[in-house]
Structure 1
Amino acid sequence: MCTAMSQRPRALVTGASAGIGRCYAEHLARTGHDLVLVARRADKLEEVAGLLRAEGADVEVLPADLSTDEGVARVVERIERDPAIGFLVNNAGYAARGRVAELDADATAHMLRVNVIALTRLTIAAMARMSAAGHGRIINVASGTVFMQMPGNAGYGASKNYVLAFTRTLQTEAEGTGVRVQALIPGVIATDFHEIAGNAIGNFPPERVMQADDLVVASLRALEMDEPVCIPSLPDMRDWDAYVEAERGLVPNVSRDRPAERYHDRD
């Protein structure tokens, strides 16, 4: 458990029992953070916590099912009552896939509660406290599928489009508050995520698969560089800038007093 005597900054990481979340926990511990680790399985969290405690970090295990109101409320309360939590990594998430006409509606709703509702409520709690304090960092993990329309991926892709849109708007609100907000857009990462989603990492060409540790190092470095959006394998950030400029080019014509000429009766 976290001690009152600790003077180190504290980071709260969701989905911290494995994969990307575990790598964040390891790197943050090495860079001087104490930790609150959140995931469903206490035994897996304790395994990670034991290793990090051996390296000198003060680690609290907070088992919580983020698909439930009770689980989310437990983590929100933990954020709200601890002024030492200056770093939130919203990493928890998973994919329920299938073509829309064949989707399991309950499984999709369960996924949205984790990917969308939980992330939103934790971010609200963290942003309220961090902006009042005048400092803090938030990383929200999206997905490279935000740029793709792949059959069978409508629900998951849409959930991660929400994460990206929500985070980008939050970034505009965070200006001048002392809170730095990052949207992380991973590609294919070598974790058990794909097996859980019914795929296999071996189905991807090796040159498309990044190690979770490399992803996290890039994300934390991007945060230091003040890059609001981190796409770790993108060679040139000017491509992202062009994407944003293309969006801006649409804005003046999104709302006009009449339909475009092509919709007019030409008779």
Structure 2
Amino acid sequence: MTTALITGASSGIGAAFADRLAADGHDLVLVARSTAVMEEHADRLRRAHGIAVDVIGQDLAEPDAPERVLAALGGKPVDLLINNAGFGTCGRFEDIDAEQDRRQIMVNVAALVGLTHALVPGMLARGSGGVINVASTAGFQISPHFSVYSSAKTFVLNFSLALWAEYRGRGVNVLALCPGPVETSFFDVIGTREAAVGGKFITPEVVVDAALKALARNRGYVVPGRSNFALAHLMPRRPRKLVALIAKRVTGGVVGATRRPDAVAVNT
């Protein structure tokens, strides 16, 4: 039996990963700030599937979050790391609270890299393992009004593909999961579905299914949904300045539609 650690496990894609992996017989470690929600979910999964589920309450925006998670594991080996936790800001950059963007970078980038550093060596030593890093179709494009979010997701995409290349043939599969709009609380909190910017909404369960299939095939990255795949790949990349200006026109309508200029949303 293998153990999967899932960050952002209290809702959305993270909770869907927990449901699917528990049904497949994997033990779980659930990590998020919302401990009470995770404890209820963990209890349901234990009773339904007879698996072990540990819950770690941790704010991944804290600088020492990866070390705290590792200490809470108490030496338990992790076979599958799912770096799912994250959130996004939307609006004019000068209107967005700087502390929110700092926290966004800590969760979306620093904690993801830190947990990968902490857990991949053990996988390599055992000769097997997997890492799924949740990026976004936003990571394929320059995205004005989502400047920090999309840039962080570009990092996650490139970081994951770099590790995929490094670990090929060494027993550890790495996947960048790049969903488009997903039916989670992300767009409810932002206050408009226009933030999807043309993407087709899919369910967390569809995302999870695509991710696990792609990881098993060691594909490197996956964009669930045909229309989202096309949108991610058919948009031009160059000339970069022109693409940025076109993207500004596309995303500009989101600013006026949001409830507030510093809208924040969990992407899980």
Question: TM-score with structure 1 length normalisation?
Answer: 0.80
2:51 is aligned, of 57, 65, 68, to: 57
Q: Distance in 1 between matches of 2:142 and 2:3?
A: 38
What SS is found at the alignment partner of 1:181?
strand
Question: Is 1:76 matched with 2:61?
Answer: no
Q: Distance in 2 between matches of 1:164 and 1:31?
A: 27
Q: Partner residue of 1:179?
A: 172
Written as runs of structure 1 = structure 2, the 5 A alignment for 1:125-164 is 125-164=118-157
Q: Partner residue of 2:102?
A: 109
Q: Distance in 2 between matches of 1:151 and 1:211?
A: 26
- Judging changes above 3 Å, is the alpha-carbon distance between structure 1 residues 220 and 169 closer, same or farther for their aligned structure 2 residues? same
Question: Is 1:228 matched with 2:215?
Answer: no
Structure 1 range deviating more: 53-62 or 233-242:
233-242
1:28 is aligned, of 15, 21, 26, to: 21
1:66 is aligned, of 60, 64, 68, to: 60
Q: Partner residue of 1:119?
A: 112
Q: Distance in 2 between matches of 1:143 and 1:49?
A: 27
- Judging changes above 3 Å, is the alpha-carbon distance between structure 1 residues 180 and 241 closer, same or farther for their aligned structure 2 residues? farther
Q: Distance in 2 between matches of 1:145 and 1:238?
A: 13
**Cα pair 1:37 1:61 within 8 Å, conserved:** yes
Q: Distance in 2 between matches of 1:237 and 1:150?
A: 17
Q: Distance in 2 between matches of 1:205 and 1:172?
A: 31
| Paired amino acid for 1:59 | V
Deviation at residue 228 of structure 1 after TM alignment? 1.3
Per-residue deviation, residues 78-98 of structure 1 (Å, max 9, x unmatched): 457222x10110000000222
Question: TM-score with structure 2 length normalisation?
Answer: 0.80
Deviation at residue 226 of structure 1 after TM alignment? 2.4
Q: Distance in 1 between matches of 2:69 and 2:162?
A: 23
What SS is found at the alignment partner of 1:140?
strand
Deviation at residue 235 of structure 1 after TM alignment? 6.8
What SS is found at the alignment partner of 2:89?
coil
Deviation at residue 203 of structure 1 after TM alignment? 7.0
Deviation at residue 202 of structure 1 after TM alignment? 7.8
- Judging changes above 3 Å, is the alpha-carbon distance between structure 1 residues 209 and 102 closer, same or farther for their aligned structure 2 residues? same
Number of matched pairs:
236
- Judging changes above 3 Å, is the alpha-carbon distance between structure 1 residues 236 and 19 closer, same or farther for their aligned structure 2 residues? closer
| Paired amino acid for 2:92 | R
- Judging changes above 3 Å, is the alpha-carbon distance between structure 1 residues 235 and 199 closer, same or farther for their aligned structure 2 residues? closer
Q: Distance in 2 between matches of 1:132 and 1:171?
A: 17
**Cα pair 1:49 1:59 within 8 Å, conserved:** yes
- Judging changes above 3 Å, is the alpha-carbon distance between structure 1 residues 194 and 58 closer, same or farther for their aligned structure 2 residues? same
What SS is found at the alignment partner of 1:69?
coil
Deviation at residue 223 of structure 1 after TM alignment? 1.6
- Judging changes above 3 Å, is the alpha-carbon distance between structure 1 residues 151 and 63 closer, same or farther for their aligned structure 2 residues? same
Q: Distance in 2 between matches of 1:76 and 1:177?
A: 23
2:201 is aligned, of 190, 202, 209, to: 209
**Identity %, equivalent residues:** 36
Q: Distance in 2 between matches of 1:214 and 1:236?
A: 13
| RMSD, aligned α-carbons | 2.7
Deviation at residue 23 of structure 1 after TM alignment? 0.3
Segments of structure 1 that go 5 or more residues without pairing to the other structure are 1-7, 248-267
Point out which structure has higher relative CO (alpha carbons under 8 A, 6+ apart): 2
| Paired amino acid for 2:82 | V
Structure 1 range deviating more: 206-215 or 122-131:
206-215
Q: Distance in 1 between matches of 2:197 and 2:151?
A: 25
